[in-house]
Amino acid sequence: MAGVSHIVVDWGTSSFRLWALDRAGAVLAERRSPQGLAASGAEGFETVLESHLAALALPESVPVMMCGMVGSRAGWVEAAYVATPAGLDGLTEKAAHVPSARRLIRILPGIAQRGAAGADVMRGEETQLLPLIRDGFKGLACLPGTHSKWVRVEGGEVSGFATFMTGELFHLLRSASILVPAVEGAAMVDPASDAFAQGVKDGLAAPEMLGNQLFRLRAAWLLEGEGPQAALARLSGLLLGTELAGAARFGGRGPVALIASGPAAALYQVALALAGVADITTHDAEECVRAGLHAAAVTAFRLERTCA
């Protein structure tokens, strides 16, 4: 494939996303699959990667920069955490080398928080932040996901962050709890629904009552005939409202950079507005991680920039 300068890969727990980029960072080709950590560990990480590169007919001279759970202890090669406060430009310098006879491969490290602020870790989200920080961003960023991150950026560094298991709790509660009959058959949550808004408000108003509010979803199904669509929307709203109540203690009432893609972006925009956050700037998470990986590749592989 003509013009390919380097490959970037966001390799998570349940997904694999690969982009072939030119020296300016433009996408020339891409590959996507559900070959996340577990599947790739069984097949072999190098086997999975090379199968996608072969499908694009890319030569072995093309280097690869990766981020995400592929660099975890259970991944291909562990990329040791960088401690907070962490300057993201320094992540590239500490990228882990992946032994390979075929090509140059690097994995960006995650970030770890220790001490009085409370133990916490992230992998992949730091790469999404990289292009914003290089553009001078400072303040609070919200990165929704299975494990949502709230990250404070000061002086070009990640000074602290907090993780909320909102996405995982939503999945577990709707699929493996006593709430399953109440939400069974529900479609995707509509962020404009009254039930979602009420759930957010309830979670914000009394986050300490989350356990009680969750059980009330089952009671409303049993006693009042509440339908699955409303129940699922309220479940989503309750969890997001509770997360935002916690984030407020971390500084989440001020201006927020929302880094999100897909349905989560709309849900969080509505929830943040209901929480009283007036200044919200939204950035596409996929574009951010790709731009962050490109910036790291340019530095690590000493590629010449050709873009203005």
In a domain, 247, yes or no: yes
The whole-number pLDDT of residue 152 equals 96
* Whole-angstrom distance, CA of residue 181 vs CA of residue 220: 12
For the chain, give the mean pLDDT.
Answer: 94
Shared-domain flag, residues 116 and 260:
no
Shared-domain flag, residues 210 and 270:
yes
Lowest mean pLDDT among 84-88, 205-209, 263-267: 84-88
Shared-domain flag, residues 251 and 290:
no
The whole-number pLDDT of residue 9 equals 98
Shared-domain flag, residues 270 and 158:
no
For residue 219, the tally of other CB atoms under 10 A from its CB is 11
* Whole-angstrom distance, CA of residue 268 vs CA of residue 139: 18
Shared-domain flag, residues 12 and 80:
yes
Shared-domain flag, residues 122 and 193:
no
Q: Are residues 175 and 167 in contact, defined by beta-carbon separation less than 8 angstroms?
A: no
Shared-domain flag, residues 155 and 170:
no
Q: What pLDDT digit, counting tens, does each position of 274-304 carry?
A: 999 989 999 999 999 999 999 999 999 986 4
Shared-domain flag, residues 145 and 197:
no
The structure's pTM equals 0.93
pLDDT over threshold 90, residue 308 = no
Q: Are residues 111 and 161 in contact, defined by beta-carbon separation less than 8 angstroms?
A: yes
Shared-domain flag, residues 237 and 88:
no
Please state the φ and ψ torsions of residue 209, each to the nearest 5 degrees: -100, 15
Shared-domain flag, residues 223 and 259:
yes
Q: What pLDDT digit, counting tens, does each position of 125-139 carry?
A: 999 999 999 899 999
In a domain, 308, yes or no: no
Query: Could you give the number of structural domains in the chain?
Result: 2
Please state the φ and ψ torsions of residue 103, each to the nearest 5 degrees: -160, 170
Q: Which domain holds residue 140?
A: 6-163+286-300
The whole-number pLDDT of residue 223 equals 98
Please state the φ and ψ torsions of residue 187, each to the nearest 5 degrees: -90, -170
pLDDT over threshold 70, residue 110 = yes
Q: What CATH number is associated with residue 203?
A: 3.30.420.310
pLDDT grade for 251, boundaries at 50, 70 and 90: confident
Q: What pLDDT digit, counting tens, does each position of 136-190 carry?
A: 999 999 999 999 999 999 999 999 999 999 999 999 999 999 999 999 999 999 9
Q: What pLDDT digit, counting tens, does each position of 62-81 carry?
A: 999 999 999 999 999 999 99
Q: What CATH number is associated with residue 100?
A: 3.30.420.300
- Report the pLDDT averaged over residues 48-60: 96
Shared-domain flag, residues 259 and 269:
yes
Q: What pLDDT digit, counting tens, does each position of 207-220 carry?
A: 999 999 999 999 99
